Chain A
Amino acid sequence: MGAHARGPSNLRLVWVYPDLLSTYGDRGNLLVLERRARLRGIGVEAIQVNADQPVPRHGDIYLLGGGEDLPQVLAARRLRTDAGLAAAAAQGSVVFAVCAGYQLIGAEFGGDKGQPVAGLEILDIRSGRGERRGVGEILADVDPELGVPRLSGFENHQGVTRIGPGARPLARVLTGVGNGDGTEGAYAGRVLGTYLHGPALVRNPALADLLLSWAVGTLPPLDGEYEAWTARFREQRLAAVPVG
């Protein structure tokens, strides 16, 4: 879509269903995108859409967070009925989904009793329940196509995800579980999902910038105090977690 298609208006960040899909620090992704856009002089309109409201179709970046089993099923059902998110994705809006949100933008996922639940089908993945919960720090090397350095994050899920021919793995797992087959996350076009839960973009500012650039075009690099703290934090986490 790029900056021109957006016109003079603000960058519209849409946080989808924080009432159902915000288990643990998901607000961080919204705050980081907002902050990194503003530091570059881009105006931001942050929109929170609860599950009893329609999802606007004119957003630039849509964010979906994690959720417990039952809220995840409810969110998928409502989003399918609403159809706004799928329409926005089809028009080329950016979608960034973590954990439960990642599963539900796919074709299918495991529900609260393990039953298959229909997802939104905006990313060609299918998820189910694994044998055991993957809980802990995760490291993964991103698909070189995307030009994003090593991912660092925390995962806490029992999902197993298979990637279909219409999507590519986001990264290759070095430490942790990810999709369960040595890959982590998936992307296709401007839709990107990951098992790095909660504030995944805080530790991975380059991924945040990738999403922003998909929406607004090439971005100037950031410097200053914010980037200094972020860089120190990221280095500390990368140093603290052994590879493999």
Chain B
Amino acid sequence: MGKLPMRARVATTLGGAAGRMSRLAGRGDGSVIGGVIGLRVEPGLLSLLAADRQVVLVTGTNGKTTTTRLITSALSALGQQVASNAFGANMEAGLAAALGAAPEAPYAVLETDEKYVPSVLQATNARVVTLLNLSRDQMDRAAEIWLVARRWREAFEAAPDCRVVANADDPLIAWAASGAHQVTWVAAGQRWHEDSWCCPRCGSHLRRDDLGWRCGECEFSRPSARWVLDGSSVIDSAGRVTELSLALPGRANRSNAVMALAVAEVFGVSPAAALQKMRSVTSVAGRYTQVERDGRTVRLLLAKNPAGWLEAFDVLDPARAPVLLSVNAQVPDGRDTSWLWDVDYRVVRDRPVFVSGERGLDLAVRLEADGVPFELVGGIDEAVSRVRPGGTLDVIANYTAFQQIRTAVGRAA
């Protein structure tokens, strides 16, 4: 991309320098600060940086970072550089920084915050927007999800060249995507139903059966899908069944992978070629990482909202290994812990449960109400010390609690 106007070139240079300084100063990976400074110099930076590239946006409540990583891996099969905001800096500054850091990459896969999808779609003229799911999340600062879906829908109506790859099993996603001119429907599953009992079009009750969902009143129903997640395998558009065999655990990641395969197809990457790359992804920004700590294995799972916790429970060690649950309520987590009451904790009743975090008492009261025996601990090390040597400790934590634990056990692994 050697054609950036001078102002944009200055903006990326300044942004890059700030990013390097930020990294040297030990403040994160430097990706956001560079973008912030760049955007200050040139507000149109994002669209200048995206020009002449094929851009994929990835959004939804859960799975953005992992799916972004899987799509990036899949597109690497094309043999060319792929720009990406791999560390989850998903607002405009983070996106600009990711593009500025890879000026020659003809492809870009960008995790995008739900609220920014309309403006980023317009700025980047994205070729593909990937819609994973929508559910309640950080309600003290996020927009209401029906409103988010409506804004997406309007943005897609205004972008005729954009293809939306959408999870047909999530009714709110289906409603948003059905405003798009080109859609690839993916039956990627939806375990969390609590935010989609009612038809997004008319408000009546949705009926669910093995084939999906349909409205009891209007004609709105689950679109028929080109890609189907079926247990541990995917059924593609030609009816071929392929075992996913991912290194990443859990149903949610199989769902993310099928979405990634559908995006890869848009760029002419076959499922076999895409899967070969995707299977090498073992952890994503620390999630699913296993680390050794004082002779025990600690496995880190991030879960930020009720739907995320539901999926995290699915990944817990089947051998009833002890689990540490840790919750904070800082700004990135949402200051409101009400969502704890939307999670059904009874599934961890039959294993040792430790509780920590700045809002550990919120969790304690919640677990007590569910009849789950637990022990309040001071942090990760105390929990580890309670596990027998050679044993495994699963950790489920929300955003800043996860970062604190990750820092404590070391980022090396």
Residues of A within 8 A of B (CB): 19-20, 22-28, 31-32, 35, 50-52, 68-71, 74, 135-137, 154, 156, 197-199, 202, 225-226, 229-230, 232-233, 236
Contact = CB atoms under 8 A, between A and B. Distances in A.
A230 B338 contact: no
B335 A233 contact: no
Contact of B336 (A24, A71, A229, A236): A24
A230 B136 contact: no
B336 A202 contact: no
Contact of A232 (B203, B339, B361, B370): B361
B365 interface: yes
A22 B146 contact: no
Contacts of B369: 28, 31-32, 35, 202, 226
A233 B342 contact: no
A198 B140 CA distance: 12
A229 B364 contact: yes
Top-4 shortest CB links A-B: A198-B338, A25-B338, A28-B341, A25-B341
A19 B205 contact: yes
Contacts of B204: 52
A19 B197 contact: yes
Given A51-B198, A156-B140, A233 B340 contact: no
Contact of A22 (B194, B203, B337): B194
Interface in B187-228: 194, 197-198, 203-205, 216
11 contacts: A24-B342, A25-B338, A31-B341, A51-B197, A71-B203, A135-B140, A199-B341, A202-B341, A232-B361, A233-B361, A233-B365
Given A32-B369, A69-B144, A24 B339 contact: yes
Contacts of A31: 341, 369-370
B368 interface: yes
B139 interface: yes
A229 B365 contact: yes
Nearest to A225: B368
Contacts of A199: 338, 340-341
A26 B338 CA distance: 8
Given A24-B339, A52-B216, A233-B365, 20 more contacts: A19-B198, A20-B197, A22-B342, A25-B339, A25-B340, A35-B369, A51-B205, A70-B203, A71-B203, A137-B335, A156-B140, A198-B338, A199-B338, A199-B341, A202-B369, A225-B368, A226-B368, A229-B361, A232-B361, A236-B361
B372 to A, nearest CB: 12
Contacts of B340: 25, 199
A24 B139 CA distance: 8
Contacts of B370: 31
Contacts of A22: 194, 342
Contacts of B194: 22
Contact of B341 (A26, A74, A226, A236): A26
Contacts of B341: 25-28, 31, 198-199, 202
A233 B363 CA distance: 9
Nearest to A197: B338
A232 B307 CA distance: 28
Contacts of A232: 361, 364
B157 interface: no
Contacts of B113: none
A70 B140 contact: no
Interface in B303-331: none
Contacts of A51: 197-198, 205
A31 B365 CA distance: 11
A154 B361 contact: no
Contacts of B42: none
A50 B139 contact: no
A19 B195 CA distance: 8
Nearest to A133: B140
A225 B376 CA distance: 13
A149 B204 CA distance: 41
A177 to B, nearest CB: 13
A51 B340 CA distance: 24
B362 interface: yes
Interface string B350-387: 00000000000110111011100000000000000000
Nearest to A77: B203
A154 B365 contact: no
A74 B198 CA distance: 10
B197 A50 contact: yes
Contact of A23 (B136, B205, B365, B366): B136
A20 B198 contact: yes
A209 B369 CA distance: 16
B198 A156 contact: no
Contacts of B216: 52
B198 A27 contact: no
B219 to A, nearest CB: 18
A67 to B, nearest CB: 10
Contacts of B205: 19, 50-52
Contact of B365 (A19, A69, A197, A202): A202
A135 B338 CA distance: 13
Contact of B338 (A24, A52, A136): A24
Contact of A156 (B146, B197, B336, B337): B336
Nearest to A28: B341
Contacts of B364: 229, 232-233
A5 B136 CA distance: 40
A150 B368 CA distance: 23
A118 to B, nearest CB: 17
Contacts of B146: 68-71
Contacts of A74: 198, 203
Contacts of B337: 25
Residue picked from B139, B140, B145, B335, most chain A C-beta under 10 Å:
B139
Contacts of A25: 337-342
Nearest to B203: A74
Contacts of B368: 225-226, 229-230
